[in-house]
Chains A and B, each alone.
Chain A
Amino acid sequence: MEKVLTKNVRPDLSYVDLKAYEASGGYQGLRKALTMAPAEIIDEVKKSNLRGRGGGGFPTGVKWSLVPMGGDALQPKYLAANADEMEPGTFKDRLLMEGDPHQLVEGMAVAAYAIEASVAYVFLRGEYQLSEERLRRAIAEAYEQHYLGKNVLGSNFSVEMFVHMSGGRYMCGEETGLLNALEGKRANPRTKPPYPAVSGLFGKPTIVQNVETLCNVPYIVTNGADWFRSLSLTQDGGTKIYGASGKVKRPGLWELPMGTTIREILEEHAGGMRDGVKFRGLLPGGASTDFLVEEHLDVKMDFTEVQKVGSRLGTGTMIVLDDQTCPVGMVLNLEHFFAQESCGWCTPCWSGLSWAEKALDAIENGQGQSADLDHLSFICKICAPGNTFCALAPGAVEPLQSALKYFRDDFDRHIGEKRCPWKA
């Protein structure tokens, strides 16, 4: 299968400099983009069916078409690459930034051109030190060759690019939280509307886009929407960086056609389960997606198909649960994370999630009662989409509600036996 995003990534992850990147066709997307009208690029991206790789799957071209264009639009407009990657179990953007940083720089330059943005930030996770070093180096090289800065490659298009290192908090990855963080504030979310595309960073039109999403953009410009769609096995265009962690034989990341089945990823690429453990379930795309189980292994991993069986593609990096690991303990770990990262704005989220954490802790430690399970289901309901200000709470209850569905017996055993059956 054709590798697109990872074709330059070296096995030893050494730095791919500007020369090496150019030698593999790098910056051809930007060169071509500069000969096109921004509207043409947005149109091509729309036709490509590129959907956001940060977890939400929103059509990228549609989002760009919401940005006010032309002389009347507020200036400067902004582009922010969402490189916060704090979703537990997710480690794909790191690979793209460490393995081929120029690809992101080019993707951002093209995206900025398409929405006529003149300032672009990489909002980078504070712990990603190697990504920082490499992006700063790539950006400096790109400035030198006039891929960035004033009059890019002699055109009328100018763009400045900066790296912002995050102070560290899951909410920074939420698109409006990210805007507040970039403004030097706490990463609380903002009310929508107005949408960031119209009024975002410093009140100006802003597009926030995941790293992997942006990396795809130059190739769509170079090779066209039809080519991009042909990479995929399903309706959603392109390849996808899938991943697996947990007790599989070969945890890792693989770039595969969008729509590859869970079974292929798990059995062929991750090598199946480690000796001595059996598969029980998985979170298909990071901590805030619903569990899937054995019966779902033939589901195609794309936005539409995973949703049909009650979960989400999310970030596409799956977390595998095995039979030697306690599902209640796993959900407790997840809810501890979400409760800790709640910004405290909405009652269902901060009080519901901290209560869920306490109840799960009680159950895991043999102090739970059956009424606790009803309360947990109730919390899942009150945190449903629409009841809270941002998507943290709805995401938080996805693994919980599905664990209650698929691993109900294990919850009951904890309560009945007054202990965790997995603890000696």
Chain B
Amino acid sequence: MLSSEEREEIEREFAHYPTKEAVCIDAMKIVQRRRGWISDESLQDIAGLLGMSVDEVDGVASFYNLIFRKPVGRHVIMICDSVSCWIMGYEKLRTQLTSRLGIKMGETTPDGRFTLLPIVCLGACDHAPVMMIDNETHRDLDPEKIDAVLEKYT
């Protein structure tokens, strides 16, 4: 069940578009912001509210990078794997992250603290290599910096 807060926030978006369907992505983001991911149940609730079929909403969800259809950890690390970061040492960064966290790309640590995902160019190429954790962008990363950054997230 959507909370009344979620429902209200989604319904506020209705005023911005001529169709309910147009709110589909916003709706998923609103729910995901609170729950971390979009479960089958959330998907059904959103479909119901927007008058869409579950398959339609799922088809949209699966297309976009930032909609998670599987549970994620408390913090989501998105590491830029695009060209400028690659030139500036993305591979080393990835190796260090996967070994520190003991997981592969796409996985979540057993304690549920971090999920590690690749992301395309984060638009901070002059400070490569770059990663985002939750809403924060971390720039000019090197091995020492990474350890310090990870410690901030519990």
Q: Which residues of A contact B (CB under 8 A)?
A: 85-91, 93-94, 125-129, 160, 162, 164-170, 181-187, 202, 243-247, 251-253, 283, 287, 317, 319-322, 325, 329-330, 333-334, 336-337, 340-341
Alpha-carbon distance between A336 and B120 when the two chains are bound, in angstroms: 11
CB distance from B63 to the nearest CB of A (A): 4
Q: What DSSP secondary structure best describes chain A's contact surface?
A: mixed
| In the complex, chain B residues whose CB is within 8 Å of the CB of A321 | 87
Q: Are A183 and B126 in contact (CB under 8 A)?
A: no
Chain B, residue nearest A332 (CB): B86
- Decide yes or no whether B54 CB sits under 8 A from chain A: no
Subset of 13 A-B contacts with CB under 8 Å = A88-B83, A91-B124, A91-B125, A126-B29, A126-B65, A127-B137, A168-B67, A169-B63, A184-B17, A202-B19, A243-B125, A245-B88, A337-B83
Instruction: A247-B87, A336-B81 are known; give 20 further A-B pairs, CB within 8 A.
Output: A88-B84, A88-B121, A89-B82, A91-B121, A91-B125, A126-B29, A127-B119, A166-B64, A167-B63, A168-B66, A169-B65, A170-B120, A182-B17, A184-B22, A202-B19, A247-B88, A251-B125, A287-B83, A321-B87, A337-B83
Alpha-carbon distance between A202 and B82 when the two chains are bound, in angstroms: 33
Q: Are B123 and A330 in contact (CB under 8 A)?
A: no
Q: Per-position contact with A for B52-96: 1 when CB-CB < 8 Å, else 0? A: 000000011001111100000000001001111011100000000
Chain A, residue nearest B13 (CB): A162
| In the complex, chain A residues whose CB is within 8 Å of the CB of B50 | 184
Q: Are A90 and B121 in contact (CB under 8 A)?
A: yes
| In the complex, chain A residues whose CB is within 8 Å of the CB of B82 | 88-89, 287, 333, 337
* Max chain A C-beta neighbours (<10 A), residue from B19, B78, B82: B82
| In the complex, chain A residues whose CB is within 8 Å of the CB of B59 | 186
Q: Are B126 and A245 in contact (CB under 8 A)?
A: yes
Task: Out of B60, B64, B87, name the residue touching A168 (CB < 8 Å).
Answer: B64
> Of residues 3 to 36 in B, which have CB atoms within 8 Å of A's CB atoms?
16-19, 21-26, 28-29
- Decide yes or no whether B132 CB sits under 8 A from chain A: yes
| In the complex, chain A residues whose CB is within 8 Å of the CB of B78 | 127
Chain B, residue nearest A183 (CB): B22
Q: Are B122 and A127 in contact (CB under 8 A)?
A: yes
| In the complex, chain A residues whose CB is within 8 Å of the CB of B16 | 160, 162, 164
CB distance from A154 to the nearest CB of B (A): 24
CB distance from A110 to the nearest CB of B (A): 21
| In the complex, chain B residues whose CB is within 8 Å of the CB of A334 | 83
| In the complex, chain B residues whose CB is within 8 Å of the CB of A184 | 17, 19, 21-25, 50, 60
Q: Are B21 and A90 in contact (CB under 8 A)?
A: no
CB distance from B17 to the nearest CB of A (A): 8
* Max chain B C-beta neighbours (<10 A), residue from A88, A244, A319, A321: A88
- Decide yes or no whether B154 CB sits under 8 A from chain A: no
- Decide yes or no whether B100 CB sits under 8 A from chain A: no
Q: Are B121 and A167 in contact (CB under 8 A)?
A: no
**With A165-B29, A169-B64 in contact, is A317–B87 under 8 Å at CB?**
no
